[in-house]
Amino acid sequence: MKKQASLNTTTSCSSRITAIKDTMEILSGKWKFHIIGTLLQSDKMRFMDLIREVDGIGAKMLSKELQDLEMNHLVSRTVLNTKPITVEYKITDYGKTLEPIINEIANWGMEYRKLIYKAANQED
């Protein structure tokens, strides 16, 4: 008789797995956290501001990532009727609910650095 999966087949489990997949897909790619993190700090930003703040990103990537975020209602996009056209990007209230996740991830990463540093020193 073949062995079968048992742990991850309960409904509570598979909905958890789906939830994680959903979240990670929404936040997928090299730049999403970076962009959201930047918008969380500053409330309003224009396209060119983001190009300058998000270190290393190019116009194509920024444009694409912002479209993704807008589609998922995490970021709002407002075209202003100014002389050279300007566009305002803001994080939505919904987008702000990501802050706890981002904080957890940032904190974990900082603890990680500390541990690596400690381990490296103990080896000497």
Partner DNA sequence: ACCTATAGTTTCCTAAAGGGAACTGGTTTC
Partner DNA sequence: GAAACCAGTTCCCTTTAGGAAACTATAGGT
Q: The tokens of 112 are what?
A: 């990680």
Q: What are phi and psi of 83, to 5 degrees?
A: -60, -70
> Which range binds a copy of itself by CB under 8 A, 29-37, 59-67, 79-87?
29-37
The Cα–Cα gap between 32 and 55 comes to 13
The Cα–Cα gap between 39 and 53 comes to 10
Residue 42 contacts a copy of itself per CB under 8 A: yes
Binding site for DNA (CB under 7 A): 2-3, 28-31, 46-49, 56-61, 63-64, 66-67, 77, 83-87
Residue 93 contacts a copy of itself per CB under 8 A: no
Number of continuous H segments (helices) and E segments (strands) in the chain? 6, 3
Residue number, 32 or 98, with CB nearest to DNA? 32
Which member of 59, 96, 106, 117 binds a copy of itself (CB under 8 A)?
106
